[in-house]
């Protein structure tokens, strides 16, 4: 694939993520923070996010599978996930967390289970999309090109 084409694909792909609401402007902020002195910033942060989130989702599953659910434990996890997802711009994950928290407050186990599923779904979606995004970027760089700056045309 030609470099220009790759770059265009990347841009389109990124744009679609925004349009779908998978990512929000916070992600753009992250991209803007990336520069020569910090060339892999976005991928580093996103990797951290994945690591943290995997762990949290795991803990959440365990907590909710208990006989007696301890919401005092569940809530902080969700809260943290909400914080980190909002920080990287994973909008849908964050929104799912917000809903999750309300069910936690109501101590609704059934509701929480559903929310957890929802969160997981959104999380895997964004994870998948971002991984694809990074691959595209890597291809471009490998071909000697630069990653085009995101145009905020939308």
Distance CA 151, CA 141 (A): 19
Distance CA 116, CA 68 (A): 17
Q: Is 62 in the site for another protein (CB under 8 A)?
A: no
Residue with tokens 């289970």: 113
Please, what is the minimum distance in Å from the beta carbon of residue 32 to another protein?
8
- Output the CA torsion 46→48→50→52 (10° steps): -140
Distance CA 33, CA 37 (A): 10
CA-derived radius of gyration, the chain: 17
Residue from 48, 62, 146, 149 binding another protein (CB under 8 A): 48
Please, what is the minimum distance in Å from the beta carbon of residue 46 to another protein?
8
CB 103 within 8 A of CB 112: yes
Tell me how far CA of residue 116 lies from CA of 58, 135, 136, in angstroms.
10, 28, 30
Residue from 23, 82, 92, 136 binding another protein (CB under 8 A): 82
Please, what is the minimum distance in Å from the beta carbon of residue 18 to another protein?
16
| Contact stretch for another protein (CB under 8 A) within 63-71, 77-85, 131-139, 141-149 | 77-85
Q: Is 118 in the site for another protein (CB under 8 A)?
A: no
The footprint of another protein on residues 3-42 (CB under 8 A) is 26, 29-30, 33, 38, 41
Instruction: List residues near another protein by CB under 8 A.
Output: 26, 29-30, 33, 38, 41, 44-45, 48-49, 51-52, 76, 79-80, 82-84, 86-89
């Amino acid at each position: 694939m030609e470099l220009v084409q790759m770059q265009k694909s990347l841009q389109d792909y990124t744009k679609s993520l925004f349009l779908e609401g998978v990512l929000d402007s916070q992600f753009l902020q992250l991209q803007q923070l990336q520069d020569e002195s910090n060339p892999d910033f976005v991928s580093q942060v996103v990797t951290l996010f994945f690591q943290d989130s995997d762990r949290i989702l795991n803990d959440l599953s365990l907590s909710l599978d208990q006989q007696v659910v301890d919401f005092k434990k569940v809530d902080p996890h969700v809260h943290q996930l909400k914080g980190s997802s909002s920080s990287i711009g994973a909008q849908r994950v964050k929104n799912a967390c917000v809903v999750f928290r309300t069910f936690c407050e109501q101590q609704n186990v059934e509701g929480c289970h559903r929310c957890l599923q929802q969160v997981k779904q959104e999380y895997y979606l964004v994870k998948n999309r971002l991984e694809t995004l990074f691959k595209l970027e890597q291809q471009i760089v490998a071909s000697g090109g630069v990653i085009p700056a995101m145009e905020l045309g939308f």
